[in-house]
């Protein structure tokens, strides 16, 4: 034990450094792949990305200026290098006598909205984070709770009812449940306004605007989590060590809460890390349906307008969020499951 505790922090630190290094490599690879997709593929397909930025009376000089300003004329490795450099040292975009400074961290510049990407991301990130956090709390409580109860009351009316609701939650597309909830509670019953209000403007207004998106998003995920929790819990309850725990005379709450839940939580946590990380990158459908001004909405507008720098920026944020969430999950494994502790 003494050796274990002494070696623990060093091992954890080494592990952390390894993981962070792997995460950095992963991000570099993602940037390279995204660059290829967004800047090289259109070129191979015979489409000029610069032409998408100019109007219907496209002047060749204007197309060329966009090409210069966004560095699209440079070789791909130069573009990637400039992008990396911009993150740490900022970047200058110049064309036709117009100079635009993009301060570090510069994640690119939107020629369409004439804004640096980083402020756009930081402006919209809190909305997405609030959506993901609120929904995650809801789906973890409701989904995992319903799954555990269903497993414990296997075959009961509760179990069947909960699983039917869960099945419908998984099956119904989010834009359908979103429209249904808007139709019912906002346009029909008029119980709430359902429009996003910044938290700084009004807490109650913000809460009123977030409730439906939280519930709608949580409904989908809670359904998935309920089903997976039920299945895992049933499997765990059939394990020998649970039978042993019961035979030892442990109370049912201890058997379930201390022993069964730990094993059940491992796959749930893995799923949660992936889901939460992906949501941080923008719950596109939910944000679109409820017109929430988050990252998902930004990326959708960017896709519609072929605003490649915004798409690239949001893609990187999503990747980063998934990587960080997975790293946290891996660290949490050690807390939940003693078998994976490094010491």
Under the rule (CB under 8 A), what is the footprint of other proteins? 42, 46-49, 51-66, 95-98, 100, 112-115, 123, 157, 179-180, 182-184, 186-190, 193, 195, 287-291, 293, 297-298, 300-301, 303-306
Least distance CB 169 / other proteins (angstroms): 15
User: What CA–CA distance (Å, rounded) separates 226 from 169?
Assistant: 10
Strand 91-95 relative to strand 109-110: parallel, antiparallel, unpaired?
unpaired
Least distance CB 291 / other proteins (angstroms): 4
Nearer to other proteins (CB atom), residue 181 or residue 264: 181
- Do 273 and 326 touch, CB atoms closer than 8 A? yes
- Do 144 and 225 touch, CB atoms closer than 8 A? yes
User: What CA–CA distance (Å, rounded) separates 85 from 106?
Assistant: 8
Give the position of tokens 């790293």: 327
Nearer to other proteins (CB atom), residue 129 or residue 303: 303
Nearer to other proteins (CB atom), residue 81 or residue 176: 176
Least distance CB 66 / other proteins (angstroms): 7
User: What CA–CA distance (Å, rounded) separates 9 from 175?
Assistant: 47
Least distance CB 11 / other proteins (angstroms): 47
Least distance CB 131 / other proteins (angstroms): 14
User: What CA–CA distance (Å, rounded) separates 49 from 86?
Assistant: 21
Measured between alpha carbons, how far is residue 332 from residues 22, 107, 262, 267, 321 in Å?
A: 18, 31, 11, 12, 16
User: What CA–CA distance (Å, rounded) separates 281 from 265?
Assistant: 24
Nearer to other proteins (CB atom), residue 113 or residue 343: 113
Nearer to other proteins (CB atom), residue 300 or residue 328: 300
| Residue 51: HSE in the Cβ half-sphere, 13 Å Cα cutoff | 8
Nearer to other proteins (CB atom), residue 160 or residue 341: 160
User: What CA–CA distance (Å, rounded) separates 273 from 327?
Assistant: 8
Number of H helices, E strands in the chain: 15, 4
Least distance CB 164 / other proteins (angstroms): 12
Least distance CB 248 / other proteins (angstroms): 31
Nearer to other proteins (CB atom), residue 20 or residue 61: 61
Least distance CB 306 / other proteins (angstroms): 4
Specify the DSSP element, H or E, that contains 280. Answer: helix 261-280
Nearer to other proteins (CB atom), residue 197 or residue 274: 197
């Amino acid at each position: 034990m003494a050796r274990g505790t002494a070696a623990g922090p060093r091992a954890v630190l080494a592990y952390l450094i390894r993981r962070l290094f792997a995460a950095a490599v992963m991000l570099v690879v993602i940037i390279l792949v995204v660059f290829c997709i967004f800047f090289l593929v259109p070129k191979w397909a015979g489409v000029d990305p610069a032409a998408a930025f100019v109007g219907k009376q496209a002047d060749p000089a204007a197309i060329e200026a966009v090409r210069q300003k966004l560095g699209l004329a440079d070789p791909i490795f130069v573009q990637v290098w400039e992008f990396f450099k911009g993150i740490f040292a900022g970047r200058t975009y110049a064309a036709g006598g117009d100079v635009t400074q993009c301060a570090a961290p510069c994640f690119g510049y939107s020629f369409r909205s004439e804004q640096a990407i980083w402020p756009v991301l930081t402006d919209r990130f809190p909305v997405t984070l609030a959506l993901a956090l609120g929904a995650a709390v809801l789906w973890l409580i409701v989904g995992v709770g319903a799954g555990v109860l269903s497993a414990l009351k296997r075959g009961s009316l509760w179990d069947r009812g909960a699983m039917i609701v869960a099945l419908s939650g998984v099956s119904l597309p989010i834009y359908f449940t979103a429209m249904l909830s808007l139709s019912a509670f906002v346009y029909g019953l008029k119980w709430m306004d359902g429009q996003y209000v910044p938290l700084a403007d009004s807490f109650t207004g913000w809460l009123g605007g977030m409730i439906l998106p939280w519930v709608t998003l949580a409904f989908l995920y809670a359904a998935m989590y309920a089903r997976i929790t039920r299945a895992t819990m049933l499997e765990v309850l059939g394990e020998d060590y649970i039978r042993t725990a019961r035979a030892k005379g442990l109370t049912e709450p201890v058997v379930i809460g201390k022993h069964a839940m730990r094993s059940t939580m491992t796959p749930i946590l893995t799923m949660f890390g992936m889901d939460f990380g992906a949501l941080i990158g923008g719950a596109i459908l939910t944000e679109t349906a409820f017109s929430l001004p988050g990252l998902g909405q930004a990326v959708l507008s960017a896709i519609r307008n072929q605003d490649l720098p915004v798409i690239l920026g949001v893609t990187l944020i999503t990747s980063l969020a998934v990587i960080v969430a997975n790293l946290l999950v891996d660290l949490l494994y050690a807390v939940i499951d003693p078998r994976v502790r490094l010491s």
